[in-house]
Amino acid sequence: MSSGVQFTPMDEDIRVLHADDEPGFGETVAAFLQREDERLVVETVTSASEALDALGSEVDCVVSDYDMPGQNGVELLERVRATYPDLPFILFTGKGSEEVASEAISTGVTDYLQKGTGTEQYAVLANRIGNLVDQYRAEQRLAVHERRQRESEAYLERLLHITSDTTMTPEAKTHRLLELGCERLGVENGHLVKIDEDRGRYEVVSVFGSDVEAGAIFDLSETFCRRTIRSDEILDVHDTVEQGWTDDPAYDAFEFAVYIGKRLVVESELFGTLCFAGDEPREPFTADEKTFFDLLTRWFDGMLERQRRRAQSETVFESVQEPLFVLDVTHEGTLLFRRVNPAYRELTGHEAEVIRGTPLGDVLDDGAETDLEASCRACVDEASQVEFEGQISLGDREQRVRTRLAPVLVNDEVIQVVGTVRALDGRRNGNGTEDD
- Which pLDDT tens digit goes with each residue over 270-327? 999 999 999 999 999 999 999 999 999 999 999 999 888 888 888 888 888 899 999 9
Do 337 and 262 lie in one domain? The reply is no
Do 386 and 280 lie in one domain? The reply is no
CATH of the domain at 300: 3.30.450.40
Do 273 and 336 lie in one domain? The reply is no
Expressed in angstroms, the distance from the first to the final Cα of the chain is 65
State yes or no: pLDDT of 392 exceeds 80: no
* Element holding 339 (H helix, E strand): strand 335-340
Do 63 and 97 lie in one domain? The reply is yes
Do 31 and 107 lie in one domain? The reply is yes
Over residues 217-243, the mean pLDDT reads 95
Q: Which long-range contacts (CB under 8 A, 24 or more apart) does 317-321 make?
A: 317/341, 318/342
CATH of the domain at 366: 3.30.450.20
Hey, what's the torsion of the CAs at 282, 284, 289, 293, to 10 degrees?
A: 90
Q: What is the per-residue pLDDT across 14-68, written as a single tens digit (0 to 9) for each? A: 999 999 999 899 999 999 999 999 999 999 999 999 999 999 878 999 999 998 9
Residue 69 CB-half CA count within 13 A: 6
Do 309 and 357 lie in one domain? The reply is no
Q: What is the per-residue pLDDT across 137-178, written as a single tens digit (0 to 9) for each? A: 999 989 888 988 999 999 999 999 999 998 999 999 999 999
DSSP 70: S
Q: What is the per-residue pLDDT across 403-428, written as a single tens digit (0 to 9) for each? A: 999 999 988 899 999 999 988 875 43
Residue 369: which pLDDT band, with cuts at 50, 70 and 90?
low
> What pLDDT was estimated at residue 436?
47
**More reliable by pLDDT, 293 or 70:** 293
Domain carrying residue 258: 170-316
> What pLDDT was estimated at residue 224?
95
Counting the structural domains of the chain, the total is 3
Do 235 and 111 lie in one domain? The reply is no
Domain contains 44: yes
- Report the alpha-carbon distance of residue 127 to residue 111 in Å, rounded: 12
Domain contains 379: yes
Residue 429: which pLDDT band, with cuts at 50, 70 and 90?
very low
Lowest-pLDDT range of 342-346, 359-363, 391-395: 391-395
CATH of the domain at 78: 3.40.50.2300
